[in-house]
Structure 1
Amino acid sequence: MKIFRYRDQGNIYLGALVEQGQLYQLKESNVMELVNAARQSGKTAEGYIRSALPQATPISKSIEELHLLTPVDAPEVWAAGVTYQRSREARNYEATEGRLDSTTFYDKVYDAPRPELFMKSTSSRTVGHNDQVCLRSDSTWQVPEAELGLVLDENGVIVGYTVGNDMSCRDIEGENPLYLPQAKIWKRSCSIGPFIRLAETLDDPYSLSIACRIYRDGEKVVDEQANTNQLKRKFNELIHYLKKDNELFAGTVLLTGTCLVPPNQFTLESGDIIEIEIEEIGTLVNVAVYEHELDTKLVN
């Protein structure tokens, strides 16, 4: 079962997509309200929704016709780095100007007990499905990073999974590791959605295929695939360090790192359409533009 948020006639609603494809409007306003109501009733979120479906309002529009929003209004989005071997290789390439035989601090992070965790985004910087992500004006080497996102409650419990796009500037990060915040955080540099797959309905999150496709002028220029079974660190390990001496807010999203990196010679251009698909969760689509072009180039 998948949860989504959408806007209709100026109002924001929470919806459920069931296995048969039917859409229902839920009475709760957000996913954490839904999870808390389910817990108070002694049910899982899935069980709570199924018990409410007979009284729920069916949505007459198709999912493609709805104005989808981020599935959770995440107060914070955090991200993990160098959690896949492919990410380790890419970071080393950036840091050594292509000398892949060199050992860097990224090798140490990959093997260290403590994972790399960093603040990626806030609610106001995060966009959703079919929305525009921004290219940074002072970077010449920019890529999307396809990532599985964990939706957490205030105690670090995983309530669901979503698709994430961690926009990154490879040149800025490679120039100096202290530039990481600038390489990762700017206006519309993060996208999540379009759905949250409820945690109890996903059998094995460590065995999901992930694909990243990029289209330019109607032509597919990037087509990369991987699987979450390549993830080195477990979710509870990442959450453990995120919680340590830290305050979590209900609805926080933790992106678990990327195993898909476009070819080293590739950089995003304005108008590129990015598709990130994670098996059993959904496909997140965004168009990349510069800030001054916002709303002038739309996803078809």
Structure 2
Amino acid sequence: MAENLHELLPADFGTGTFIGRALSPDGPCVIAVRSGQLFDLTEECPTVSGAIERRCFTGGRAMGLVEEGLPQGWSLLSPIDLQAVKASGVTFAISAIERVIEERARGYAGRAAEIRAMLEEKVGAIREVVPGSGEAMRLKQLLIDQGMWSQYLEVAIGPDAEIFSKSPVLSTVGAGAQIGVRSDSSWNNPEPEIVLVCDAAGEVVGATLGNDVNLRDFEGRSALLLSKAKDNNASCSIGPMIRLFDGGFGIDDVRQAHVDLHIQGPEGYVLEGTNDMTQISRDPLDLVAQCLSEHHYPDGFVLFCGTLFAPVQDRDAPGAGFTHKVGDVVTISSSRLGRLPNTVTTSKDAPAWAMGIGAFIRNLTARGLAGRI
């Protein structure tokens, strides 16, 4: 799915500063976009993680106008490298209800519609409360008394957010890559999200788009299968590039963002939806603080903020809801962050993850760059 870089970046890319990665014939390179120009920062900062820590966003080798694209033989990568990949779940009321549906359906999509109708009436009040507040705790007790409580409602309205590790370091894929769902999953979906990019101290320096590919059948059978539902080959897509915070783009733009989803199926099926960040139940900076907590992230971290979008539109059979097919083209977009397109395959058939930390360091060493990380 080759696309020109300027078609992936937002329309106002000429007014912003972006940083990311591309694969050259020699190996991964750090690239930046400033004032509509493309720069190679690799000689000064061979990792995005290091560039963020040292605020190495200027300078670099000029590569031409963004409209001219990447050099021949180069391709866009996920814009992160050594950062930990974290994610927050159940940060929207709608997604909380959908997680409870998965739990009560025991991962069987055919029961979802019936359970959804019942739960909407019973637990719809979670939309109105602030997580961790006294009102939320009173609602919790009421739901417990009614036999409606769930571990998912605990993280939806309780004091502690759900924060989990999504994907190993260097395993994420970028715009245009294939994304993977397990070949033995029969109920799964994309999750269009904003991804905050943080330095080692937890300061948010920018944002990008992400697809937290999710297996609803696995997680629905048991929350202890979360890692199996979330962390699979090619199951985490990030891109196209990181938009750095500046005077024209910041955390308030993240809070007001709309993240759109478009799925084009190989059989002509079309699904569209929107993740409206104004409806998030926990402020993005609160999620970052909970992710940082008492942890240390020496190479920084990125944090998926969660999504309110959970597709319930039937695809094949009435009441069966949505699940991916191989060949689905998934495009996540937002006006200030650009477009993140990917094509669905199975995790078994997706390109193997080959450049782990060891291979990455060996590549940088061979290029005389390892000492500059």
Q: TM-score range by the shorter chain?
A: 0.7 to 0.9
**Could you tell me how far apart the structure 2 residues matched to 1:239 and 1:199 are?**
16
- Alignment partner, residue 54 of structure 2: 37
When residues 287 and 249 of structure 1 are mapped into structure 2, their CA distance, relative to the original with a 3 A threshold, is: farther
For 1:261-289, what per-residue CA distance to the aligned partner results, in whole angstroms no more than 9, with x for missing partners? 22251100111111111221121111111
- Alignment partner, residue 333 of structure 2: 277
Indicate if the aligned counterparts of 2:262 and 2:271 stay in contact, CA closer than 8 A: yes
- Alignment partner, residue 230 of structure 2: 184
Instruction: Find the residue that maps to 1:242 and give its secondary structure.
Output: helix
- Alignment partner, residue 45 of structure 2: 28
Q: Determine whether 1:222 maps to 2:271.
A: yes
**Could you tell me how far apart the structure 1 residues matched to 2:71 and 2:305 are?**
28
Q: CA RMSD in A?
A: 2.2
Deviates most, 77-86 or 177-186:
177-186
| Structure 1 residue 208: Cα displacement | 0.9
| Structure 1 residue 259: Cα displacement | 1.8
Q: Determine whether 1:255 maps to 2:300.
A: no
Indicate if the aligned counterparts of 1:213 and 1:220 stay in contact, CA closer than 8 A: no
The equivalent position to 1:244 in structure 2, one of 279, 293, 308, is 293
Deviating above 4 A after TM superposition, structure 1's stretches of 4 or more consecutive aligned residues are: 63-66
Indicate if the aligned counterparts of 2:84 and 2:299 stay in contact, CA closer than 8 A: no
| Structure 1 residue 12: Cα displacement | 2.7
Q: Which amino acid aligns with 1:263?
A: V
Q: Determine whether 1:89 maps to 2:97.
A: yes
Indicate if the aligned counterparts of 2:199 and 2:301 stay in contact, CA closer than 8 A: yes
Q: Any gaps of 5 or more consecutive residues in structure 2? A: 1-16, 106-111, 120-147, 314-320, 352-373
Q: Determine whether 1:70 maps to 2:116.
A: no
**Could you tell me how far apart the structure 2 residues matched to 1:34 and 1:214 are?**
34
The equivalent position to 1:132 in structure 2, one of 151, 168, 178, is 178
Higher relative strand content: 1
For 1:27-68, what per-residue CA distance to the aligned partner results, in whole angstroms no more than 9, with x for missing partners? 422333333433xxxxxx6xx52xx3xx74133641597500
When residues 36 and 171 of structure 1 are mapped into structure 2, their CA distance, relative to the original with a 3 A threshold, is: closer
The equivalent position to 2:155 in structure 1, one of 104, 109, 134, is 109
Indicate if the aligned counterparts of 2:37 and 2:62 stay in contact, CA closer than 8 A: no
**Could you tell me how far apart the structure 1 residues matched to 2:306 and 2:195 are?**
9
Q: Which amino acid aligns with 1:131?
A: A
Indicate if the aligned counterparts of 1:74 and 1:253 stay in contact, CA closer than 8 A: no
Indicate if the aligned counterparts of 2:99 and 2:152 stay in contact, CA closer than 8 A: yes
**Could you tell me how far apart the structure 2 residues matched to 1:71 and 1:171 are?**
30
Deviates most, 135-144 or 23-32:
23-32
| Structure 1 residue 180: Cα displacement | 1.4
When residues 148 and 246 of structure 1 are mapped into structure 2, their CA distance, relative to the original with a 3 A threshold, is: same
Q: Determine whether 1:57 maps to 2:62.
A: yes
Aligned pair count reads 282
Instruction: Find the residue that maps to 2:254 and give its secondary structure.
Output: coil
Higher relative helix content: 2
Indicate if the aligned counterparts of 1:76 and 1:249 stay in contact, CA closer than 8 A: no
Identity %: 30
Q: Any gaps of 5 or more consecutive residues in structure 1? A: 39-44, 296-300
For 1:107-165, what per-residue CA distance to the aligned partner results, in whole angstroms no more than 9, with x for missing partners? 22211110011111012432111111111122100111111111111111112111111
When residues 215 and 153 of structure 1 are mapped into structure 2, their CA distance, relative to the original with a 3 A threshold, is: same
Instruction: Find the residue that maps to 2:327 and give its secondary structure.
Output: coil
**Could you tell me how far apart the structure 1 residues matched to 2:302 and 2:350 are?**
25
Indicate if the aligned counterparts of 2:275 and 2:307 stay in contact, CA closer than 8 A: no
- Alignment partner, residue 202 of structure 1: 249
Q: Which amino acid aligns with 1:58?
A: M
Instruction: Find the residue that maps to 2:54 and give its secondary structure.
Output: helix
Instruction: Find the residue that maps to 2:80 and give its secondary structure.
Output: coil
**Could you tell me how far apart the structure 1 residues matched to 2:53 and 2:101 are?**
45
**Could you tell me how far apart the structure 2 residues matched to 1:221 and 1:36 are?**
41
- Alignment partner, residue 175 of structure 1: 221
**Could you tell me how far apart the structure 2 residues matched to 1:64 and 1:202 are?**
28
**Could you tell me how far apart the structure 1 residues matched to 2:71 and 2:264 are?**
20
Q: Which amino acid aligns with 1:67?
A: S
Indicate if the aligned counterparts of 1:126 and 1:192 stay in contact, CA closer than 8 A: yes
Indicate if the aligned counterparts of 1:5 and 1:13 stay in contact, CA closer than 8 A: yes
